[in-house]
Amino acid sequence: MRKIFLAIGILCSVLTASAQDDMKTFVDNLMAKMTLKEKIGQLNLLPGGDITTGQAMNSPLGTLAAKGELGAILNVKGQDKIRELQEIAVKKSRLGIPMIFGQDVIHGYETVFPIPLAQACSWDLAAIEEGARIAAKEATAQGISWVYSPMVDVSIDPRWGRIAESAGEDPLLNGLVGAALIRGYQGNYGPENAMACVKHYALYGAAEAGRDYNTTDMSRVRMYNQYFLPFKMAVEAGAGSFMSSFNIVDGIPATGNKWLLTEVLRNQWKFDGFLATDYGAINEMSVHGIGEQDVCVAQALKAGTDIDMCSGAYINQLEKCLNNGTVTIADIDLACRRVLEAKYKLGLFKDPYRFCDKKRATKDMYTAESRLAARNLAAETFVLLKNQHNLLPLKKEGKIALVGPLGDTRNNLPGMWSTGDKPEKYTTLKEAMQKALKGKATVTYAQGSNIYRDAQTQKAASFGREITRVDDTQAKAEALRIARESDVIIAALGEMAEMSGESSSRSDLHLPDVQMELLQALVATGKPVVLLNYSGRPTILTWENENVNSILNVWYGGSETGDAICDVLFGDKVPSGKLTTTFPKSMGQIPMYYNHLNTGRPVPDGAQEFRKYQSNYLDIRNDELYPFGYGLSYTTFSYGDITLSANSMSQSGTVKATVTVSNTGRYDADEVVQLYIRDRFASISRPVKELKGFERISLKAGESKTISFNITPDMLKFYNSDLHFVLEPGDFDIMIGPHSKNLKTAKLTVI
């Protein structure tokens, strides 16, 4: 059992007070020997590019490393290349300062785990932490010591492709998942641990129109109450580094926003690690209209940006800025110190090659242990959205037609932002089904369609993970032929891997044209249809919900997707995933999220008619298709009424909320019990409900368990209009249930 509350403990520092003193002394002594160029060099991060083994010394990176003018490198793949570059830095530069090697290790390395949005739908923090531990183990075996994860952006607009990299729309859940990932990556900074980089600080998930890199603008009250919490929790979890976001905050690019980077992150939250820009962000400050490169450099450094990622701006301009007085040597020293301290924490000064162990490069990759962990977590992430007449689980018998362009793809299994994957090692869904049903049932397969009818649109969505183009008419005819000969149809449809992620915004989230035509034709056969919806975001499934028998949202489950889907389809495991994003009925409802503020003229949930002069649409009702926290099971659960240990509490007290949950069905299964609160009256408008805790429990068929949550003052606090974190007296709704729209309620009064 894992019981989660807002009042989480702060992770103890990796370094003891004595070790902190040792680090300070070491860095002091080293910096006393450094020239200005060497200090600026530590702030310079460049991409690896195409480094040829044995030729690193002759590359531009090798030249800079030998001069001590390069502090870190990203996206060099291969332990041999990394070791060669590290040897140049250590043996050729004047002071022998080692470099940090970073990479986008987002949801696994060679063993690929489900995309982060999917992982959050497991609500299984221990499994998520274990996945990060395995990812760090594999990445460090390849020389990587710094991973650009977790992303903890609150994401309320599914048009934004990078929602796939988040934990969804809830601040607390983003923070808890982020903290679990940080613990898994960093551990105690041993040789199998990497430094986490929390991103994107801040408000990146609020991009207007869901278009990547776009403008964001909001009040500071909203920042503190809806968007900042997961970043603060990441600091409390001990994150070693942060990455600033591309967008503006209060009109100022985050990379150069001193209030954001220094006043909030460092002074208020006490973050003591280093902060890097996102790719080329200092140069993008000029595009935002801030000034020429030297102006942007000075503003970014003084705002609190320590490392310049890939713009070359610091290395080109900082000495000039120092000479003209727009920065001071103290500004440069502070940034340099933070980078050197990170290298000290990673153990690179004691052993620059600690992440270049040749034995680990093979034995720690894609092991049976890591594959099992990925398979188990993937099965927990799948969300059963509909199951008419209990069609699922399927029996292992008869004739099964697998149809769809995602049913036999190998290179799309890992999902977006997978930089260490080896697709040739992975099992497709078709292969997994054939293995799972061998000797028991017959599996036939047809691709059925392309992803998009238009070849150029599909090419834009592929980004190196192509699916073979077919003649749509012929492919559909073949699919319908095998479908008519089958007992049940499994339709593997939805998004390609790279249709979600960075630079993958979509204006229409319905199933793409030719795929929808295929699905409609399959349904028209009259055979039972199971839709496996592949996606990296909430998609519009209104027609599917009305017409398809069963819908299982499988996201992108990673390298073990095929076997994990079979585990759930055929009943070896019971689905337990719960949505961490709202699924709307219509594009016009977006953005749509459960913890919204009320209006002065709200329409009640479930209203079936248009109401003039109230907040609703003429052509569609307000309710979502699937609410936050929703997910079906092969069994059923019932919830008793909430019992409070007291009906009132003081502003320093605690009250226990208790509920009995029963498994009333035929399958042993897991349930995610969710706790929400609502502040009925406050000095500012408060959300209609907010997630404050959850517990994932296992119940045998017929078993009941009593679950308790401690309601603490911090759970009920918020930032008021003066940005003070306060608990105001009054009445609160305490709500517990299986999802955000199915809750038992009790009233608690704070006096």
Catalytic residues: 278
> Angle of helix 561-569 relative to helix 368-381, nearest 10 degrees?
50
3-state secondary structure of 661: strand
First to last CA, the chain: 33
Q: Rounded to whole angstroms, how far apart are CA atoms 604 and 34?
A: 66
How open is the CA angle 21-69-149, to the nearest 5 degrees? 65
How many Cα atoms occupy the beta-carbon half-sphere of 39 within 13 Å? 23
Q: Rounded to whole angstroms, how far apart are CA atoms 315 and 312?
A: 6
Nearest to 114 by CA among 298, 343, 301, 375: 375
Q: Count the residues in the chain.
A: 751
Q: Rounded to whole angstroms, how far apart are CA atoms 10 and 152?
A: 17
- Structural contact between residues 144 and 136, judged by C-beta atoms closer than 8 angstroms: no
Q: Give me the residues paired with residue 638 across strands.
A: 662
Q: Is 279 left (phi over 0), alpha (psi -120 to 50) or beta?
A: beta
Give me the sign of the Cα torsion angle 206, 212, 216, 220: positive
Q: DSSP class of residue 115?
A: P
Nearest to 4 by CA among 232, 118, 240, 174: 174
Q: Is 319 left (phi over 0), alpha (psi -120 to 50) or beta?
A: alpha
- Give CA separation, 483 vs 26, 400, 467, 491, 513, in Å: 70, 8, 22, 10, 20
Q: Rounded to whole angstroms, how far apart are CA atoms 370 and 319?
A: 47
Q: Rounded to whole angstroms, how far apart are CA atoms 163 and 539?
A: 12
- Structural contact between residues 99 and 65, judged by C-beta atoms closer than 8 angstroms: yes
Q: Rounded to whole angstroms, how far apart are CA atoms 669 and 672?
A: 10
10 Å Cβ neighbour count for 714?
Answer: 13
- Structural contact between residues 71 and 100, judged by C-beta atoms closer than 8 angstroms: yes
For 330, the token pair is 């103290």
- Amino acid in position 610: F
For 373, the token pair is 């962990």
Helices (H), 396-471: 429-436, 455-462
Residue environment code for 470-495, b if the CB has 16+ CB neighbours within 10 A, otherwise e: bebeebbebbbebbeebebbbbbbbb
Strand 100-103 versus strand 529-534 pairing type:
unpaired
For 689, the token pair is 């409900």
Q: Rounded to whole angstroms, how far apart are CA atoms 717 and 684?
A: 12
For 264, the token pair is 């909030």
- Structural contact between residues 245 and 254, judged by C-beta atoms closer than 8 angstroms: yes
Give the DSSP per-residue string, 26-74: HHHHHHHH--HHHHHHTTEEEE--SPPTT-GGGSHHHHHHHTT---EEE
3-state secondary structure 5-34: ECCCCCCCCCCCHHHHHHHHHHHHHHHHHC
For 54, the token pair is 């044995």
Please report where in the chains the tokens 């926003």 appear, as a residue. 257
How many Cα atoms occupy the beta-carbon half-sphere of 210 within 13 Å? 26
Burial grade of 749 (CB within 10 A; 0-12, 13-18, 19 or more): middle
What is the distance, to the nearest Å, from the Cα of residue 128 to the centroid of all Cα atoms in its chain? 11
